[in-house]
């Protein structure tokens, strides 16, 4: 007679193959074996502490679980869909190895609180892995910034030329985004708003057994035992927090990819990425396509979809566990895998990319990038900024009318006349006006905190080198208690 499932005594008919394949999750939740075993070890210690199993049974259970973990890691455990999920596979394997003591392990525990615990432990560990990978991307961007401190380039707002910047500043701007992503992932992994252990909640209402959930929480490094057994078994807030953090990271990578797809186009040619991160065309032999960047940009939409999928599942559920929540792992694992592969690829691309100075510099006389610098110069000559803004606007129009490409091509008298025509005192304008004109001069004059050139940029780059001594957003990886 085939072995019955743990719940099958109540059901008169055996589950048919179609239903079995439909409900199983072992094909994807098997990656939770470490977390499931860690939770079971903690549970066994608690059962022994309160006298629900003997010390000898505790020793036997824990020894068996550790051997199962070793065999899982070595790929020696056969995954049986008839057992449905990782929890039942581990339990069946433990019963096969040590017999009756294994049948006592599920005392005062449900698969409902087991899966909530496993997922929380997996998120704790995996969120740190994402944060560390984002740290690698930050490192690559800081190194690129170090290679780009002598390159002046235009910045853009509304996709129109704005002000000149040092190229290194743009690298650090991306870095700042990914630092926040790393911090956000780390926070999702060890939530300060809800970090209670699910284990002890049981199926929904807890247990009448004399358990010690606080002891389990301490072993597994949670803040405390369940506050509400009803809520804890069906809470997926932490999974949603992580999905949001992953979505933000994917969005920032998509923005970087979009920027660099533009920069690497023939029309811009501002950035050169390594050939190994491009592909050719099956028809056009001249093509050098940034396919990896385009895929990073495209896969962002998949991560968004995963966030919306779990939000949608959760929105229609009554309180307490419902089987719909089995899909949380499929969704979260998929988003995690997508982001991990994308951030790894992004770091590899950045580490080999360079701004192309010889292509950028000839373009700096286009777009009057020094217009704001000239307005600020006029402010130092006691002209109100709004008036200075109008003066410079009229000078740009004059340049365009005369066919001049740069404000620096105007004479001092032109600046004085423009100021006077706007009712300002232009007598203080002198030859020093040329010191604020030209992109190279402008970036040296920046003084405000976080500015894209000058001393603020030097300080920012130095600060980033200090930050990279330790992983961004990660003080330490929280290991799961195993013994």
What amino acid positions are annotated as catalytic residues?
Answer: 158, 281
User: How many of the other CB atoms lie within 10 Å of CB of 44?
Assistant: 25
251 neighbors 184 (Cβ within 8 angstroms):
no
Q: Which of 311, 300, 304, 309 is nearest to 330 (CA)?
A: 309
């Amino acid at each position: 007679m085939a072995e019955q499932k743990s719940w099958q005594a109540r059901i008169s008919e055996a589950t048919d193959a179609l239903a079995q394949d439909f409900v199983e999750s072992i094909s994807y939740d098997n990656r939770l074996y470490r977390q499931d075993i860690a939770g079971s070890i903690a549970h066994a210690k608690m059962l022994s502490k309160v006298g629900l199993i003997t010390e000898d049974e505790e020793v036997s259970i824990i020894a068996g679980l550790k051997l199962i973990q070793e065999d899982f890691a070595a790929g020696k455990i056969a995954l049986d869909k008839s057992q449905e999920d990782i929890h039942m596979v581990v339990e069946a394997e433990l019963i096969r190895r040590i017999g009756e003591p294994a049948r006592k392990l599920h005392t005062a525990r449900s698969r409902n609180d087991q899966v909530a615990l496993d997922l929380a432990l997996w998120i704790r560990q995996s969120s740190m892995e994402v944060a560390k990978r984002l740290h690698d991307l930050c490192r690559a961007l800081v190194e690129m910034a170090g290679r780009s401190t002598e390159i002046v380039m235009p910045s853009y707002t509304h996709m129109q030329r704005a002000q000149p910047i040092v190229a290194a500043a743009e690298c650090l701007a991306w870095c700042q985004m990914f630092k926040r992503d790393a911090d956000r992932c780390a926070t999702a992994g060890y939530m300060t708003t809800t970090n209670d252990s699910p284990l002890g909640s049981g199926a929904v209402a807890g247990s009448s057994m004399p358990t010690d959930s606080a002891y389990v929480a301490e072993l597994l490094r949670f803040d405390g035992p369940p506050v509400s057994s009803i809520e804890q078994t069906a809470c997926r807030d932490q999974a949603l927090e992580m999905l949001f953090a992953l979505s933000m990271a994917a969005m920032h990578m998509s923005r970087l990819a979009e920027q660099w797809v533009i920069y690497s186009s023939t029309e811009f040619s501002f950035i050169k990425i390594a050939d190994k991160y491009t592909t050719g065309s099956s028809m056009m032999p001249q093509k050098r396509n940034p396919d990896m960047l385009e895929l990073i940009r495209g896969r962002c939409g998949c991560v968004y979809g995963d966030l919306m999928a779990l939000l949608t599942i959760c929105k229609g559920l009554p309180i307490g566990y419902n089987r719909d929540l089995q899909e949380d792992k499929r969704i979260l694992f998929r988003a995690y895998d997508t982001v991990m592969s994308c951030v790894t690829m992004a770091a590899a691309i950045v580490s080999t990319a360079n701004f192309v100075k010889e292509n950028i510099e000839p373009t700096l006389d286009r777009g009057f990038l020094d217009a704001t610098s000239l307005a600020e110069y006029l402010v130092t000559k006691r002209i109100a900024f709004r008036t200075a803004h109008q003066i410079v606007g009229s000078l740009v129009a004059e340049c365009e009318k005369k066919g001049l490409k740069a404000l620096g091509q105007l004479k001092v008298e032109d600046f004085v006349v423009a100021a006077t025509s706007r009712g300002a005192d232009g007598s203080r304008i002198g030859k020093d006006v040329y010191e604020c004109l030209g992109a190279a001069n402008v970036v040296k004059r920046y003084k405000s905190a976080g500015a894209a050139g000058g001393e603020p940029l030097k300080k920012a780059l130095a600060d980033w080198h200090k930050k990279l001594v330790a992983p961004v957003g990660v003080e330490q990886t929280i290991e799961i208690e195993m013994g």
